[in-house]
């Protein structure tokens, strides 16, 4: 057995704790006090660890690591620190029998939320299966939104989420519910929110979103997740360069709507697949009183967004569907100019520098009409 006890002072050296999302500030001195030993099986046991950086502190007791430096177990972690995103975290985790209880005043849940929606990150920090029970007063979802009174449990097996149930509160008595269940190596995840905005903001090609109820469903098989995101009764002030799309003469009335509270949609549905850092969007379809939009494409995380689609005024859709028996005449038009229904568009580029190209269309695609009819029948 090898004992060790040391004090480490970091000045300009990088240091990142993935498990706690802590990244040291290189402008500050970071001190780490360690006391532990390595046993004959080459496992490392940290009897105590204390990290200090300015007003940030992280304390740990009896943390056991495997020979591959994965966490096998620990007795306690007390945390009060600013994380890599500059968010305050104040919580503690205690081992009770074979479970861990996480309680605290504030916790940054942004990474947790991204992993639920995208599911492409392999959080391989632990060596053993475990259950985590959560009771947190405030969970930050981003710079603007927070969830109150998050409670429930998460069960992990083979470093992956196996089962879970979480509930929390938004302002104005709105709720969040999350479930996960694994059968036959397939994990089914559901997420329901009375308040959709914090989730929708994660999709950077959608902006100016307000109101809405969200229903998310996903099946993960291996490293591929197949998901459906539905949102009901919301307003949208801007898709990137959407205003530019709507300045075409035939859609000027819709452009005027953008000067107010935004365009209202009754329903939004997005079907997509995730594998590692690539999101393939099979379909995005939104229908509302003013316009309807049909899109597809892909998003390469933090690198590239590529979408193409069709945007059509609702009055045109109603006219087309209302005259299905003579659809050919409506699509082509009996007079010059009658066939202009809307625009087709492409959106492509890095998330912060998207470019859009548009073209007027004279006929609606069969796919657009089929999807619209499906939604109308459901309602």
* 307 vs 366: CA distance, rounded Å: 19
Strand partners, 180: 164, 189
* 377 vs 350: CA distance, rounded Å: 38
Mean of the pLDDT values across residues 93-121? 78
Of 33-42, 144-153, 347-356, where does mean pLDDT reach its minimum? 347-356
Mean of the pLDDT values across residues 286-314? 84
Query: What secondary structure letter does DSSP report for 325?
Result: G
Of 33-47, 173-187, 216-230, 311-325, where does mean pLDDT reach its minimum? 311-325
What pLDDT, on a 0 to 100 scale, did the predictor assign at position 85? 85
Mean pLDDT over all residues of the chain? 79
Mean of the pLDDT values across residues 101-124? 71
Query: In the predicted model, is pLDDT for residue 362 greater than 70?
Result: no
* 81 vs 50: CA distance, rounded Å: 12
235 vs 257 pLDDT, higher one: 235
What pLDDT, on a 0 to 100 scale, did the predictor assign at position 321? 46
Strand partners, 312: 292
Closest by CA position to 46, among listed 8, 11, 80, 72: 72
Q: DSSP labels for 167-197?
A: EEEETTTEEEEEEEEEETTEEEEEEEES--H
Confidence of residue 363 (pLDDT cuts 50, 70, 90): low
DSSP helix/strand/coil, 46: strand
Q: What percentage of the chain has pLDDT greater than the value 90?
A: 33
- How far apart, in Å, do the first and last CA atoms of the chain sit? 70
**CB within 8 A of 62, min separation 6: which ones?**
45, 46, 47, 48, 73, 74, 75, 76
What is the tens place of the pLDDT at every residue in 38-72? 888 888 899 999 999 999 999 999 999 888 888 88
Query: In the predicted model, is pLDDT for residue 189 greater than 50?
Result: yes
What pLDDT, on a 0 to 100 scale, did the predictor assign at position 258? 53
Q: DSSP labels for 195-225?
A: --HHHHTTSTT-EEEEEEEEEEEEEEETTEE
Give the CA angle between residues 8, 10, 12 to the nearest 5°. Answer: 160
What is the tens place of the pLDDT at every residue in 116-172? 555 545 556 788 889 999 999 999 887 778 889 999 999 988 878 899 999 999 888
Domain-wise residue ranges, the chain:
1-81, 240-379
Query: In the predicted model, is pLDDT for residue 337 greater than 60?
Result: no
- Phi, psi dihedrals of residue 21, rounded to the nearest 5°: 55, 40
* 172 vs 227: CA distance, rounded Å: 28
What pLDDT, on a 0 to 100 scale, did the predictor assign at position 253? 47
């Amino acid at each position: 057995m090898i004992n060790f006890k040391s004090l480490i002072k970091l000045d300009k050296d990088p240091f990142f704790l993935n498990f706690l999302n802590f990244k040291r500030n290189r402008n500050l001195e970071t001190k780490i006090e360690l006391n532990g030993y390595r046993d004959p099986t080459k496992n490392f046991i940290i009897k105590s660890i204390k990290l200090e950086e300015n007003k940030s502190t992280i304390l740990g007791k009896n943390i056991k690591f495997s020979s591959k430096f994965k966490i096998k177990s620990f007795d306690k972690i007390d945390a009060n620190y600013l994380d890599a995103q500059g968010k305050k975290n104040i919580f503690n985790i205690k081992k009770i029998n074979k479970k861990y209880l996480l309680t605290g005043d504030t916790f940054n849940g942004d990474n947790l939320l991204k992993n639920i929606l995208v599911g492409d990150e392999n959080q391989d920090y632990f060596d053993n299966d475990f259950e985590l029970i959560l009771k947190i007063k405030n969970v930050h979802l981003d710079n603007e939104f927070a969830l109150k009174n998050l409670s429930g449990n998460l069960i992990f097996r083979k470093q992956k989420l196996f089962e879970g149930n979480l509930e929390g509160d938004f302002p104005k008595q709105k709720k969040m519910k999350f479930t996960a269940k694994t059968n036959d190596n397939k994990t089914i995840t559901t997420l329901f929110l009375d308040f959709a905005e914090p989730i929708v903001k994660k999709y950077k090609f959608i902006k100016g979103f307000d109101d809405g109820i969200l229903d998310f469903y996903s099946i993960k098989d291996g490293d591929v997740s197949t998901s459906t995101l539905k949102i009901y009764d919301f307003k949208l002030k801007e898709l990137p360069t959407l205003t530019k799309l709507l300045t075409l003469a035939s859609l000027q009335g819709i452009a005027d709507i953008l000067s107010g509270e935004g365009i209202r949609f009754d329903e939004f549905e997005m079907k997509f697949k995730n594998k590692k850092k690539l999101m393939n969007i099979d379909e995005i379809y939104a229908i509302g009183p003013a316009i309807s939009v049909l899109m597809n494409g892909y998003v390469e995380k933090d690198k590239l967004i590529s979408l193409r689609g069709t945007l059509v005024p609702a009055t045109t859709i109603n006219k087309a569907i209302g005259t299905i028996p003579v659809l050919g005449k409506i699509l082509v038009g009996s007079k010059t100019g009658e066939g202009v229904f809307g625009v087709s568009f492409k959106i492509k580029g890095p998330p912060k520098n998207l470019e859009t190209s548009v073209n007027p269309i004279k006929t609606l695609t069969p796919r657009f009409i089929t999807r619209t009819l499906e939604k109308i029948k459901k309602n």
